[in-house]
A and B are shown apart, each in its own frame.
Chain A
Amino acid sequence: MADNLSEYSKIDTIMKNHFWEESALISILHEIENLYNYLPDWALRHISEKLNIPMIQVYGVASFYNAFHLKPRGKHLIRVCEGTACHVKGGQRVMEELERKLNVEAGETTEDLNFTLERVNCLGCCALGPIVMVDDNYYGKMSPVKLGPLIMQLKKTRINNK
């Protein structure tokens, strides 16, 4: 169940904007993911009911794509580009350093729910690799050494968030 009824009407508005079309499921799920930072169960059930799509199909689509998450994620998203160019320039080491410093594995969220560390498919900024994204900000030409200031900044954010 959603926290309150007005949450359902938010979903309804999204579906209405997509003309209640079954084929708009992916776009609808994107908007819900943007709203809640993940796809709550109750939202998926609501969509299945209102758009008349079998629940297993909605659940299947939600589980298939990288952009969608069925569990809540951290307040801040740290994404490391795993493109080939970034890899060849040492992207793996950048990821490992972040894993060490944040004490999580790629794909996981820190205990305080502040940060989620993820791999992301090639961002197409290969000239500036290895690339790390923190929320909507891009940081290019990263290396384990250069991560130092970035991680300091993240730790400050963590303190601010408390």
Chain B
Amino acid sequence: MKTAAGNPEWERELIRRVLDGEKQLFHELIRPCERAVYFLLLSMLRNEAEAEDAAQDTAIKVFRNLQMFRGDSQFRTWVLSIARNEGLGRLRRAESRREDSLDELTEEQGGDFTPAILMSWREVPAEVLERKEVGALLREAIDRLPAIYRNVVLLRDIEQLDGRDTAAALGITEGAVKVRLHRARALLQRELAPKLKGVVPKRARLLRWGA
């Protein structure tokens, strides 16, 4: 049996066996999803402890409702929509302590989407940042994004879901995913380009953060 995550045959087989009583196999079924579940919930709830608690509740709800999975979407997408509902339920219960935490913001959300243009072409790059610092800068910038952009960027760029699965998991259209992803990246570029000059991702043969 192939164990590749996202392999629908492997998932169907595992689900059947779990439902037939081999409950321990549920660990293997949920394992490939747990990262995306946690980060989606962290994006929504913005609190590590609560996101972890919500991720555990999500896993248990997935187990209890496994017979409801119809197989008309990817298993991971279904799991993420359960995570999203868990997150929304918690936000509602918290009576929206932060107004921007709910999904109801409109696309007309303000924000300056023009890119950062750095004209200091010959400037010596800022001190080369340790990856740890790069990570912290990225996480902070993402944390500051409005929720509707943060959730999309989380699933598309961090967890590498495609547009269709992201739309399904978040209950929005693929068009909305594209618009929000574009705006999120524009906001991140604007915020990060000036700070990350001189840092080049290892996997990319890219050289410049700014002109």
Real binding pair: no
Give the B-binding residues of A (Cβ under 8 A). none
Give the A-binding residues of B (Cβ under 8 A). none
